[in-house]
Amino acid sequence: MKYFKELQEGVYDPNIFKAFFLAGGPGSGKSYVVGRTTAMFGMRIVNSDEVFEKMIKNAGMTMKMDTALGRQQEPERDKLRDTAKRITRLRQANYIEGRLGLIIDGTGKDFEKIEGQNKELIQLGYDTHMIFVNTSLDVALARNQERDRTLPEPIVVKSWNAVQKNIGKFSNLFKNRFIIMDNNDKDEKVITNVYKRVFNLAKKKVTNGIAKNWIAKELQMKKVSGAKKGIDRFR
């Protein structure tokens, strides 16, 4: 019922039917970018890592996965990761049911997965975009060591290489809705430029014809419902 209420109110929300995929490997600074460019728009963030890290902390497990203790806890941690992914999928399904604005946070190493999600969202009426947060491998490795949850270096290198190979594919998939950001230095000018581009896309009226028809029907239903309530008051 909660999401049905949000759906009804959301007809007037400029964020409905907008989805931003966020891509970038470990240490790219995606969380920093989200906080500075998209968090204030009221979109729902879909991020299994966020759920996973909370579960690790609640379980009293180490966040340093590249240590002896971290390797020892790996089997139990994998169970928590599976649970976090399941919770995140349910949340995302609820958000989509209400056609709410989405920020889908991931690494971008699995092109086929994002391509499939993008296709499904477009078929539902969403305008889709991607923000690709890019860094050099050296910066990614250095930032990984500064994070609360560190990953073994080989995993960071493997993920970074996989993500880099997909830049061209993502550019072709999203075309003029693809925003690539160099986050090596966390330059304020770059952040400001990305914020302006995201702001314009987020506040722009939806262009997908399926969404336009859905919104028109919802508004008509509201109009009819309002008229009926007005008549009932005089009975």
Tens digit of pLDDT for each residue in 194-209?
888 888 888 888 999 9
Task: Report whether pLDDT(5) > 50.
Answer: no
Structure tokens at 129: 């975009």
Task: Output the pTM of the full model.
Answer: 0.82
Contact between 156 and 6 (Cβ < 8 Å): no
pLDDT for res 115:
97
Contact between 48 and 84 (Cβ < 8 Å): yes
Dist CA 122 CA 209 (whole Å): 10
Top pLDDT among 33 and 152 is at 152
- Kind of pairing, strands 178-182 and 44-46? unpaired
Task: Report whether pLDDT(161) > 50.
Answer: yes
Phi then psi dihedrals of residue 225, to 5 deg: -60, -40
Average pLDDT of the residues of the chain: 85
| Nearest in space to 43 (alpha carbons), one of 2, 108, 118, 104 | 104
Structure tokens at 217: 């029907």
Task: Report whether pLDDT(50) > 50.
Answer: yes
Contact between 144 and 150 (Cβ < 8 Å): yes
Give the burial class of 43: count Cβ atoms within 10 A of its Cβ; 0-12 exposed, 13-18 middle, 19 or more buried: buried
Task: Report whether pLDDT(230) > 70.
Answer: no
pLDDT for res 232:
53
CATH number reported for the structural domain that contains residue 33 in this entry: 3.40.50.300
Confidence band for 2, pLDDT divided at 50, 70 and 90: very low
Dist CA 111 CA 53 (whole Å): 24
pLDDT for res 229:
56
pLDDT for res 200:
84
Top pLDDT among 43 and 3 is at 43
Number of domains comprising the chain = 1
pLDDT in tens, 82-116: 999 999 999 999 999 889 999 999 889 999 999 99
Averaged pLDDT, 9-27:
83
**Secondary structure class of 177 (helix, strand, coil):** helix
Domain that holds residue 137: 2-233
Averaged pLDDT, 25-39:
79
Confidence band for 228, pLDDT divided at 50, 70 and 90: low
Task: Report whether pLDDT(7) > 90.
Answer: no
pLDDT for res 131:
92
Averaged pLDDT, 26-31:
84
pLDDT in tens, 59-85: 999 888 878 888 888 889 899 989 999
pLDDT for res 3:
43
